[in-house]
Structure 1
Amino acid sequence: MPAAVGNAAEVVHYDPLAELDRMGIPVIRQWLRDTWGAWSPVHRVVILADGLSPVQERCVLAHEVEHILAGDLGCGGVHGLRAERLADLRAARKLIALSDFCAAAQWATSEVELAAELSVTGWILRTRAADLEGGAQWLGTSRIAG
């Protein structure tokens, strides 16, 4: 790995948990059946699935922060699908700086290696890559919907 890129700990700049703390939004961890996380506007709490890795947690929390900032009230129907895509896109932009993406992409030999270097999930990495190629609006929904 080139010295200019550094390790994953040095690349991480955006901390969604700290952002939620600044907003006064608590995070509750519990068993969830069909999703990794959810924003409950009624209770003003983010629910995070038990058992996620630190990278998964970071990506889910970034996604939920974007729902909060957008004022999203639910994820059903066509409006919900659009809200999910926008939350993924905005989270990916905050989690992966363009300079970090470009530097690591020069040496990473796989998507898995690139995602690990950037401390993101494959889904967030693919969302950011599609964004940079102008096609993020066509991505499907993620498991971090909520």
Structure 2
Amino acid sequence: MGETYDPGVEADRLGARVIEWAAPLRPGENGLYLDDFRLIILRPKLEPIAQRSVLAHEVEHARSHDRPTRLTKPRMERLADERAAARLIDDDRLDDLMRTYPSCAARWAVDLQVSPHLLTVHLDATGRMIPDLTDDAIGA
């Protein structure tokens, strides 16, 4: 899907309200979906790429009406990541970037407007090479 996919529009279409509110989020957690309330909570002041990626992930929980338990949470999180990445990333554009900038994965993420995490998930899910996207590897 790629650039034409807007997770905010999709949240509206699904009837999920989106708010920014840090209080219910654990440290390191940037988003949360509450199915009982059809509510997506995002950490305030996320950078635009992070916000787009987190919102797309939470929209996938809304689409599936996820209600995780201790046993199902890891699988639900992985599926939400894979589905969000597939909607956000245009595979033809990714292939072009991989050919043009073969050793600059950070550029792929920025150009595709997705988080390094979702890019890595997508590369893994589609059987592509997974580069090192740590801050040290990209010179951040």
- Residue by residue, what CA displacement relative to the aligned partner does 1:45-89 show, whole Å, maximum 9, x if unpaired? 100001201111111111111111112112x32211100000000
Mapped to 1, the partners of 2:34 and 2:89 lie a distance apart of 26
Secondary structure, in 3 states, of the residue corresponding to 1:12? helix
Question: 1-side partners of 2:63 and 2:26: how far apart?
Answer: 25
Higher RCO, 1 or 2 (CA under 8 Å, sep at least 6)?
1
- 2:38 counterpart of 1:44: yes
Match of 2:137 in 1: none
Paired residue secondary structure (2:20): strand
How high is the TM-score relative to the length of structure 1? 0.79
| Equivalent position of 2:135 in the other structure | none
- Number of the residue aligned with 1:119: 113
Q: CA offset at residue 131 of structure 1?
A: 1.0
Match in the other structure for 1:78:
71
Report matched runs for 1:1-146 at 5 Å: 12-31=3-22, 32-34=25-27, 35-74=29-68, 76-108=69-101, 109-133=103-127
CA–CA separation in structure 2 for the residues paired with 1:125 and 1:134: 11
SS of residue in 2 equivalent to 1:46: strand
CA RMSD of aligned residues (A): 1.9
Q: Which sections of structure 2, spanning at least 5 residues, go unmatched?
A: 130-140
Letter in structure 2 aligned against 1:129: L
| Unaligned segments of structure 1, at least 5 residues | 1-10, 136-146
Q: Provide the TM-score with structure 2 as the length reference.
A: 0.82
CA deviations on 1:97-127 (whole Å, 9 max, x unpaired) are 2111101111224121110010000000001
Distance 2:75 2:93 in 1: 27
